[in-house]
Amino acid sequence: PSEEMVTLTWSFVVSIYSIGGLLGSLSAGYLSVRFGRKKAMLLSNIPALLSATLMGFSRLCGSFEMIIAGRLVSGASGGLALNIHLMYAGECAPRKLRGLIPMTASTAVAVGKFAGFALGLREVLGADVLWPILMATHAVPALVQLLTLPFFPDSPRYLLIDKKDKEACIKAVKELWGDGDHMAEIDDMMAEQEAIHGEKAKSVCDLFCDKAVRWQLITLFLVASCMQLIGINVV
């Protein structure tokens, strides 16, 4: 193919990850309620392993289309996992740490990017022979999560508000926070359950039309836009 076609193909390989991320993010809300936070996070590892397989064997099969498909599926896994992880981490954290715990996701993303840059050096896995292994390395954290997450309880908020199982909620709270008096947090969740009783889940369109959260939405949009435009993605 011509040089222009090669450039177009690799540009498509790079950018299609974001399309997958958008699709995964849009499905995160439904899956987190339908299956629960923990099960949805476990399900997100399936596309991660599938994408690692596609990209890892792409050179052996002589197919750049497998890289494109793998990047799309990997993006969907990332968009799904990151959104549900933030929900799960925030809902599992005790009240005094609820603001801090979800922020650890940003630190993990930064560490992951650094690890990716380091592994991508030609002296490591960026060599001509080893790059398929580099493209499949995200199977490692997916496998770690598949092996460890089943031993964790589900989100107490999900168990109480979505599943309406107070006993399971109390059991999860004791597993996560230890023995003690946690009724204040449970009472807060029960009050929230009463407040949203009978309300249907809001869609993305409902969120944009809801004037009650207009300024919060604008603030988050501006912060997220600035993060995308500071140049780190170009680097």
Residue 219's pLDDT is: 93
What's the whole-number mean pLDDT along residues 197-205? 72
State the first-to-last Cα distance of the chain, in angstroms, to the nearest integer: 28
The conformation of residue 162, written as its DSSP 8-state character, comes to I
Question: From CA 132, how far away is CA 11, in angstroms rounded?
Answer: 18
Question: From CA 182, how far away is CA 185, in angstroms rounded?
Answer: 6
- Residue 80 binned pLDDT confidence (cut-offs 50, 70, 90): very high
Tokens 């959104």 belong to which residue?
A: 83
Give the H/E segment covering residue 81. Answer: helix 64-92
Q: Positive or negative, the Cα torsion across 169, 173, 174, 180?
A: negative
- Residue 83 binned pLDDT confidence (cut-offs 50, 70, 90): very high
- Percent of the chain residues past pLDDT 90, beyond the cut: 47
pLDDT digits (tens, 9 = 90+) for 138-193: 999 999 999 999 999 998 888 888 888 888 888 888 888 887 777 777 777 777 77
pLDDT digits (tens, 9 = 90+) for 99-124: 888 888 888 888 998 999 999 999 99
- Residue 130 binned pLDDT confidence (cut-offs 50, 70, 90): very high
Maximal C-alpha separation, the chain = 69
Of 44-48, 66-70, 127-131, 141-145, the least confident: 127-131
Question: From CA 210, how far away is CA 35, in angstroms rounded?
Answer: 27
- Residue 234 binned pLDDT confidence (cut-offs 50, 70, 90): low
Confidence (pTM): 0.81
Query: In 10 A of CB 127, how many CB atoms?
Result: 12
Q: Average pLDDT, whole number, for the chain? A: 88
What's the whole-number mean pLDDT along residues 206-215? 87
Is-contact 159 172, C-beta < 8 A? yes
Question: From CA 73, how far away is CA 68, in angstroms rounded?
Answer: 9
Say if residue 60's pLDDT is above 80: yes
Tokens 């493209």 belong to which residue?
A: 135
Residue 233's pLDDT is: 64
Q: 197, exposed or middle or buried, with CB in 10 Å at 0-12, 13-18, 19+? A: exposed
Residue 232's pLDDT is: 66
Count CA atoms closer than 13 A to 120's CA, side-chain side: 8
Query: Which residues does 226 contact at the CB level (< 8 Å), separation at least 6?
Result: none
Residue 198's pLDDT is: 62
Say if residue 235's pLDDT is above 80: no
pLDDT digits (tens, 9 = 90+) for 2-43: 999 999 998 999 999 999 999 999 999 889 988 989 999 999
